[in-house]
Homo-oligomer: A and B are copies of this chain.
């Protein structure tokens, strides 16, 4: 990240975090947040929303940050991400300090059940994605798939739009609050276990970062309940290795039919 001027930064979109030709949306968001974190006085993202406007190229990218408000407990900032003057992503983010959250904690949900990571095989790299794309990002992220999800890895869809498992960075770096928006978009779409699909482009991704993660594996679960007229939400939970919820996510995406199919099937389960 290079500073170009007041509120203006330059990063680069690598080809190592892509699915086919498309950089992962969570990865691109992370580049935008790397600029925002330099401009706000608080250390942790609390809620971030990215609207994806046009597919980024593997090339340098400029990030223009506007700080909207900076108070005692929170700052709010907006960022534009641009390549050759063309806007790729627009971000709104609220930052705070998770080490200073002092209010009550009451949980009414449990971590998603799955065996410990050492009892699960890494999801095989050799299996192509259902849309036939090669995912470079799978060399960056180790994923141990929760049993009963990602049936397509073994050639048989489960029929349930859920995908989960343990996730960590291949290079061994411990997760921090900025890694969580990336992790929230890092597994293949949950809908792959339900229906044939080509590309599932994200229109908007929102991640609530709720706590600083402990070092180690992240326990992840993503689910789509409503595919309506070709649009779907994907809801995610990310828990850390000690069993603390650290992020929840939701994205709105479009299900593009596989090449040659009209995508006009209609069914209700």
- The answer to whether B206 and A228 have CB atoms under 8 Å apart is no
- A selection of 8 A-B contacts at a CB cut-off of 8 Å is A49-B92, A49-B206, A102-B264, A104-B266, A105-B227, A105-B268, A210-B226, A211-B228
- The answer to whether B228 and A248 have CB atoms under 8 Å apart is no
Interchain CA distance A228-B53 in the complex, whole Å: 33
Could you say which residues of chain B place their CB within 8 Å of the CB of A204? 47, 49, 92, 94, 206
Oligomer copy total: 2
- The answer to whether B250 and A108 have CB atoms under 8 Å apart is no
Interchain CA distance A230-B211 in the complex, whole Å: 12
Residues of A that sit less than 8 Å from B by CB: 46-47, 49, 51, 53-54, 68-69, 74, 76, 78, 87, 90, 92, 94, 98, 101-109, 160-161, 194-195, 203-204, 206, 208, 210-211, 224-231, 233, 245, 248, 250, 252, 254-255, 257, 263-269
The smallest C-beta distance from A88 to any residue of chain B, in angstroms, reads 10
Closest 7 CB pairs of A and B: A103-B230, A101-B229, A109-B225, A49-B49, A106-B227, A47-B204, A47-B252
Interchain CA distance A98-B161 in the complex, whole Å: 23
- The answer to whether A103 and B231 have CB atoms under 8 Å apart is yes
Could you say which residues of chain B place their CB within 8 Å of the CB of A268? 105-107
